[in-house]
Amino acid sequence: MRLLVVGEALAEFMRPGRDLSLDRPGPIVGPFPSGAPAIFASVAARLGVPTALCAVVGDDPFGHLILERLERDGVDTGGIRVDPQHTTATAFVAYTSGGERTFVFHVRHAAAAQLRPSDLGDLPERVEWLHVSGSTLALGEGMAETAIEAARRVKAAGGRLGVDPNLRPEAVSAETLRRVRELADAADAVFPSEGELEALGLDEEALVARGAVVCTTRGAAGASVRAPGISAEVPAPAACEIDPTGAGDTFAAGFTAATLLGADPEAAALVGCRLAARSVEILGPMETPVERL
């Protein structure tokens, strides 16, 4: 196994149009398999990188939906535990015409949050790369502990760590910010959106100086790539945005898969930008068409 992802898998429901708030009756589409780690795992596996996801789902239709989809995508689901005592986590999403998103999550008391370090088995010692999303550190104490333990063990075994901060600093606890900052500061690759490093109190130059690759995603403007000896701006293809949820996870998966398959950082970022642009044009965070690299 080359790549391990640890965190939440959930079922997502969304408003099919803009400016349809969640506090009023109206149409909702779904369920779609989702969760930042699950999206990442799906894309990476379909790109051709052997990928395992460690997560927990419920023994219910939503959990079965997620498992079936990930198995079809080629993800190793042996690390996904089915919990008959808790329902599968869910998220509800609405979009505004100005590009803002509103989320309602049911995660902390659902199956996803029951993830524990014991669920890792020997996976951390068997992989080359671990990917962690900041959402995993923010949505449940058990998930956070498991991701941190996985990172410690992967690094101790000589593997690499990728971290996507993937959070709104003003909306999470100081403890979550500390955890994300510490993992990002130890990562081999960091995938912040604009402003996230500053909000975490991290310095891009310091990260690069110790050898990390920093890919800052800029939406329709593409991404900037900074690494030792590399400073590049990578454009994104033009896209008609329908559903931006999961675009950052898709970018990170594209970059990571391409890197593991031998691409340099700039070429890997081009793969990520191409996939992310394609992903926003399709309703559903895991529905992006993906071809093997």
The closest alpha carbon to 272, from 222, 229, 220, belongs to 222
Strand partners, 82: 57
Rounded Cα distance between 216 and 222, Å, is 9
Structure tokens at 128: 């080359």
Active-site residue, selected from the candidate residues 76, 243, 249, 264: 249
CB-CB contact of 112 with 57 (8 Å): yes
CB-CB contact of 226 with 214 (8 Å): yes
**Residue 76 bears catalytic tag:** no
Q: Which residues are catalytic?
A: 249
